[in-house]
Amino acid sequence: MKKFWILFVALFFLAALTAKVDLNTASLAELKQLPITEQQARDIFDYRQYVKIFSSIFDLREIPSIDQVTLDKLRPLVVVSLYVETDEVALRRDEIRDLLERLDSNEGASEGMADVWEDYLMTPQNVNRMQLDDFMSLPNVSGVDAVAILKRTAQGDTIADTRDLRNTPGLSHYGYTNLRSYVYYKEPPVKNRLLWDANLQYYTRYFEEGQYDMLHESFLRNDYQATGVVVPHLKNLSYWGYFGLDELNPDVLLKLRLRYGNNYKLGIMNYSGKGEPGLLSSNAKDLIRDSKWYAGYENSELPLGNNSRLKFYLGNYRATFGEGLVMENTDYYSARKTGFGFSKRILGITPDLSRTQEFALKGAAMEVTNPYFGVTAFVSQDDKDAIAYVNADGETIKRDNFGNDVYTDTDGKQYYLNASNQPVYFYEDGSPVAADKDKLFSYVIPTLNYDNDTLREAESWFNNELAQTTNPYATNYINLATRKDILREKLWGTHLQVNPLLGTKLGFTTYTALYDDAHFIVPSYNELLPVVLRDSYYYTKLTKIMNAEISNLYSTQTESYNRDYRRVIGFDGQTVIGNTSIQGEYAELSLDGDDLKLGDDPKAYLVSAYTQFENLYFLTLLRNMDRNFDNPYSNSFSEHERLEDTILEKNIYALTNPTLADLYLNSNQSQPERGVYFETRYKFNNYFTVGRSYLDLWERLTDGRRTARFQSELEFRPLYQVALRLRYKNQVNRYDDDAERGVSKTNEYTMSVRTFLSNRDFLELEYRYNTVWNPPYTSLTNPANEGENTMAAAMTLMTGDYIGVNYTHNFSKSLKVQGAFLYWFGHGISHWDWEDMEIDFMGEKGSKAWIAVTSRISQNLYMNLKFRNKTFQDKELRIRNYNSSEDPVLVDDPVYFQRVEHSENTVRFSLDYRF
């Protein structure tokens, strides 16, 4: 046995000594382990990347820093493998898979943008003909990088290849590495070929915590007792119980895209979420109606000269301009969307097969650009979901053009109520009132996507139970409810742009949304609570909640105007001065001001400056959004989404309809804020890097709350394969007044150890510790009277921690496994975890494990299968009921159970066929 171990160790060291480094495949880290200097290793790596692939070891002598002595020293240690040219499409397929994993795994990768970037990867653009907006739409390419290339091509200096691109003066290494996969130089790598890909996704998605609580909220108060009626299923008094949402219905997405060269593009996508009929249960008419599709033509070589280009799309498209203040249509909100790094905006017109439904644009769009100017025009007509005012029968209340609610009596005659609450009939003959429209509260992105008949049946059930209460509510029926496709929106818009100087642009954007069949009516601040709250008890209790943000939503009828449209107008611009890019946008929502005059309507503006060095960047961003700037097609920078901390978030239990909370839970708009944001990253050397660090100082304009948020991280790499990372985050609400009830102070400390192993394997251990300090809450304690509680209030300090392990193992180029295991204890603090392609918020205490298998089954077929188990404890509102076969159902007080355990098993499966 001893001889065996001696032989084994000898063979091990012999194998280690005889292992040679392949000059054509070795990474920079592997080259640095050769007996040469770090600069020589980089020269070898750069030669292979930018000059040519090694055909023999003697090619090393063509590198100035490699002399004959160094070559002789390297000869026994290196080898040159055979380099084989393969199909360009196959090469790009592999590259796309790697890049899309990077894009999806970075916070800020927005819904649907990966589709567009994949399209750019498969059909790259000629770098010598690209324009400023083309560069600015690519991830991690700055305006400074773009101008460096534009200056060169404007002088007639054609970029011939990758090496030539890298030698562009002013182009950073970071910009170059992120740009090179999206461009070609002479002839397109994929020319006049039909490319298509089909994607199927199956996902057993659970409701998010806020949606879960909303759907569990009961319609009845604590002392509810049915008047002699036995309710067989008391749980039906919430949407969760009525619709049986314990059953886990999967989301299913089917997508098909075709491309012919760089010119012709087709695509169709069908997505069925919760409450929607699936592919197999839909008829052909509904399937086509509910699917998103596009047909497009692009030509970057128009016979107009000057690199003129054309885009034309029918069907669903996305329109984005400037900083997203006027137009960036999406259903999804992303905090701190700076427009840099991976939180880029893809400017102009692009096809849209994302899951965006409510704010999807469907119609036609055309864009014509050249280096000096650009014109974009777009039109859309689509049915939108909205919160509607309804009567006790579930019918939508009508509104005439004079500000009167229209009612219909039993004889079918229409009337309105005068100041004395007496009916006034419009026409004695009972003919319809001219221009009577649906009375709506706001757009909404619903959590439940049932059809209107199904929703009305549920509301009728709830209204019937509400009517049987012994102590009626002030509003004893559902008066505001979601209605699918109730609003026919006709929208047109345009964007005009001039580029007077290289790297400088000035733009004008406007859109108008017409509402021919509806009026948006939002009560004033003093009239709001009786409309949205069920119980009059809360009319005075909740007056101090931040409700002005709700009452400032857009109305088409007010005391000062009466119209049937919404219009937003804005200006944007950008210029590059040296190594600094400056950009910004100003927008106004037309109310009662003059469209040709600035400053007399609700406004929003954003200005940022991005300064770039080789190993350092610095971003400064200033923004302001007025309280009544309600633009549903805006998706700009902010810390929080609109309607946070209003009764739509904090007091769901008091609403006339709990699903009104969808206005906040699924909000896509930024909250009205004014503030300044700083961000930087600095790489000192190969060992130390200050990662993305930022400081944000802002004021919430609705209530004047001032907040400071800071985050920074430091990474230390003693070896290329090992990284130690420390991150600290601090946030203080109401930092200007410690005595204010809204004060809170949050600290988050994170430490992680990462190892980058061979074959691109990865292992990480992470630990996080959180503290949250809250001020005294006097209403929660006894008064400090003599003989009673002597401490009227006390500060509270909550702590929580989290530990997790993340790993990646590549069995081969065609099979990879990723996963994680983590445990957390929140003590009232919400923890979050960034999984492979999504962010997850956890409960108070629990554990989670997930594993994802990615396999290239064949040359064109890719499969991803992910399983996740999350077991956690949470505070959940449960109604304690005592059922009897003889007695009526009695519902006792709602009780918070401190330790309610949930177990969620999630499966996500996707197939991609690319040809």
CA pair distance 382, 457, nearest whole angstrom:
26
pLDDT in tens, 804-851: 999 999 988 889 999 999 998 877 677 777 776 667 777 778 899 999
Alpha-helical segments (H) within 585-652: 647-650
**Counting Cβ atoms within 10 Å, is residue 79 exposed (0-12), middle (13-18) or buried (19+)?**
middle
- CB 665 within 8 Å of CB 214: yes
- CB 388 within 8 Å of CB 440: yes
Coil/strand/helix, residue 498: strand
CA pair distance 491, 378, nearest whole angstrom:
8
Coil/strand/helix, residue 661: helix
**Which residues in the chain come in under a pLDDT of 50?**
1-18, 85-87, 104-109, 222-234, 429, 779-785, 787-792, 877-898
CA pair distance 615, 631, nearest whole angstrom:
38
The region that residue 599 occupies, defined by phi over 0 for left and psi between -120 and 50 for alpha, beta otherwise, is left
245 contacts: CB under 8 Å, gap ≥ 6: 207, 215, 239, 274
- As given in the structure block, the two tokens for residue 860 are 């064109």
DSSP string, 789-834: -S-----EEEEEEEEEEEEEEEEETTEEEEEEEEEEE-TTPPPEEE
Domain ranges (residues) in the chain: 2-79, 385-485+517-542, 757-915
Alpha-helical segments (H) within 598-730: 647-650, 662-665
* pLDDT of res. 608: 96
- CB 89 within 8 Å of CB 190: yes
- CB 383 within 8 Å of CB 329: no
CA pair distance 266, 125, nearest whole angstrom:
19
Give the DSSP letter of residue 830: P
Tell whether domain 2-79 is in CATH 1.10.150.320. yes
* pLDDT of res. 574: 95
* pLDDT of res. 444: 96
Q: Which of 296, 315, 346, 372 is nearest to 115 (CA)?
A: 346
415 contacts: CB under 8 Å, gap ≥ 6: 406, 407, 408, 409, 423, 424, 425, 426
CA pair distance 665, 642, nearest whole angstrom:
9
- CB 750 within 8 Å of CB 768: yes
599 contacts: CB under 8 Å, gap ≥ 6: 588
* pLDDT of res. 755: 92
Instruction: Using alpha carbons, list the distances in angstroms from residue 339 to 140, 199, 633.
Output: 10, 28, 16
Q: Name the pairing type of β-strands 251-260 and 194-203.
A: antiparallel
Coil/strand/helix, residue 541: helix
CA dihedral of 456, 458, 464, 470, whole degrees rounded to 10: -130
DSSP E strands in 579-687: the ranges are: 580-589, 603-612, 616-625, 673-683
- As given in the structure block, the two tokens for residue 302 are 């128009």
- As given in the structure block, the two tokens for residue 293 are 């599709």
Coil/strand/helix, residue 88: helix
Give the DSSP letter of residue 779: G
Residues present in the chain in total: 915
* pLDDT of res. 849: 93
CA pair distance 403, 817, nearest whole angstrom:
61
pTM for the model stands at 0.84
- CB 713 within 8 Å of CB 768: no
- CB 730 within 8 Å of CB 744: no
Q: Which of 812, 914, 909, 913 is nearest to 201 (CA)?
A: 909
- Please provide residue 134's backbone torsions phi and psi, each rounded to the nearest 5 degrees: -65, -45
CA pair distance 75, 451, nearest whole angstrom:
73
Q: Which of 335, 270, 251 is nearest to 667 (CA)?
A: 335
> Alpha carbon 665 to chain centroid distance?
13
* pLDDT of res. 900: 60
- CB 28 within 8 Å of CB 45: yes
Instruction: Using alpha carbons, list the distances in angstroms from residue 250 to 146, 253, 362, 842.
Output: 43, 10, 26, 21
- As given in the structure block, the two tokens for residue 671 are 């909250």
DSSP string, 260-291: ETTTEEEEEEEEE-TTS--TTTS-HHHHHHH-
CA pair distance 491, 516, nearest whole angstrom:
11
CA pair distance 444, 385, nearest whole angstrom:
6
Beta bridge partners of 624: 605, 674
CA pair distance 357, 657, nearest whole angstrom:
23
Give the DSSP letter of residue 1: -
- CB 412 within 8 Å of CB 372: no
Place of tokens 């999504």: 838
CA pair distance 526, 861, nearest whole angstrom:
60
Single-letter code of the amino acid located at 633? Y
User: How many other C-beta atoms are found inside a 10 Å radius of the C-beta of residue 61?
Assistant: 12
- CB 575 within 8 Å of CB 501: yes
Q: Which of 587, 665, 615 is nearest to 325 (CA)?
A: 587
> Alpha carbon 68 to chain centroid distance?
56
- CB 134 within 8 Å of CB 112: no
Instruction: Using alpha carbons, list the distances in angstroms from residue 896 to 167, 225, 309, 763, 869.
Output: 65, 20, 62, 40, 25
Q: Which of 386, 550, 390 is nearest to 480 (CA)?
A: 390
